[in-house]
Amino acid sequence: MSAVHEILYCSVLAPDQPIGIVGRIVSQARARNAQHRITGLLVFDGLRFCQHVEGSHDDVVALMRRIEQDSRHQAVRVVYQGTRSERRYQRFDLGYAQSEEPDDMAGIHELEGRAALERFLLLRTGFDVNG
């Protein structure tokens, strides 16, 4: 089995984008992720996104390039990048959850490295994930 590449990034919804665009972002991402065997979880708090994605190195890096060029996102920042032997997300291509606590996402935005990943994974257990 080959290593799974994982990235956790944070971004902000562009101010000219309506909140309603998030549903379209999720639908498009689910379709694209399924094609490229990328799995993950996207969390949105009404302003900020945090997304944890995993897959082959090349596919995950290509995904990040698309996200960085997507005008619906601003301030895209990779806060963690690494490899592991197996996937964390087995049940869905892209799970989606809304965070009711803006401080949760703001806290992840301020962290880097393993601390950011561990905070996200800890919060993940409290999310009602659709996917």
89-130 residue pLDDT tens: 987 788 899 888 778 888 898 999 999 999 999 988 877 776
Instruction: Answer whether residue 131 shows pLDDT above 80.
Output: no
Domains of the chain: 4-124 (3.30.70.100)
Listed range (42-51, 71-80, 100-109, 118-127) with the worst mean pLDDT: 100-109
Q: For residues 123 and 88, is the Cβ–Cβ distance under 8 A?
A: no
Six token digits for residue 67: 């996200």
What whole-number percentage of the chain has pLDDT above 70? 97
Listed range (60-74, 75-89, 98-112) with the worst mean pLDDT: 98-112
